[in-house]
Amino acid sequence: MLFFPVNCLLCSKRLPAPGEVICLSCEQKIPRTGYTSLPKNPVHMGFWGRIPVEHSTSLFRFEKGSSYQSLLHDLKYRGNRRVGLYLGRLLGHDLKNSSYAHCDVIVPVPLHRKRLRQRGYNQSEIIATGVSEIINIPIELNLLMRNVHKGSQTFMGRYERFENVSGSFCITKKAPPMNGKKILLIDDVVTTGATLEACCQTLHRQYTCQVYIATVCCA
């Protein structure tokens, strides 16, 4: 079997194995937040007074112009699913020795079926798969559903984003019992938190549960 050379997505340095994504040097330079061990971190505080969330964290900061921004673009817009698994595993290692690792299920933020057909996959589900591999918590795909498609939120402000996703999620007919459970919500990016807030509201309307939030990056 032939293996083509694989280069680091950030610095183009030759990688030692085909399954790798970035080199060790670039990985060590990731602008990590350190939020997982900080109960009062900016991501978590952003949800205060809005929704009841046990803990919230992000792996690294989304800095405009940063080469690390290209990792998410490769995942979301260039079909590079290996990036999602890689980032999910990094996030999983970050969560491994924390309260997040005691959750009962992992729930990736769902895409609307129209967007799913366009993209071919849900990037949050791929990230969740990487997280699950590390912390050994099952993924539940039959819990949340995005039932309204309202387009991109990229250029919207906080209030516009909230209005855009309000009422967009529902509990599926196949949803398992979740009362008393700890649910780990996974997404790629948290900006204003509107999408994650809408997911949490949907869960809390249906269940008496605890919700934890973890994303790859925060903007």
The domains found in the chain, sorted by start residue, are: 1-30 (no CATH), 32-218 (3.40.50)
Strand-by-strand arrangement of the 182-190 sheet? 55-61, 210-218, 182-190, 105-108
Each residue's pLDDT tens digit in the chain (219 positions)? 444 558 999 999 999 887 789 999 999 999 999 999 999 999 999 999 999 999 999 999 987 778 888 898 899 889 899 999 999 999 999 999 999 999 999 999 999 999 899 899 999 999 999 999 999 999 999 999 998 766 555 555 554 555 556 678 999 999 999 999 999 999 999 999 999 999 999 999 999 999 999 999 998
- What pLDDT score does 65 carry? 74
- What pLDDT score does 186 carry? 98
Q: pTM for this one?
A: 0.90
- What pLDDT score does 158 carry? 53
Say how far apart CA 161 and CA 152 lie, in whole Å: 9
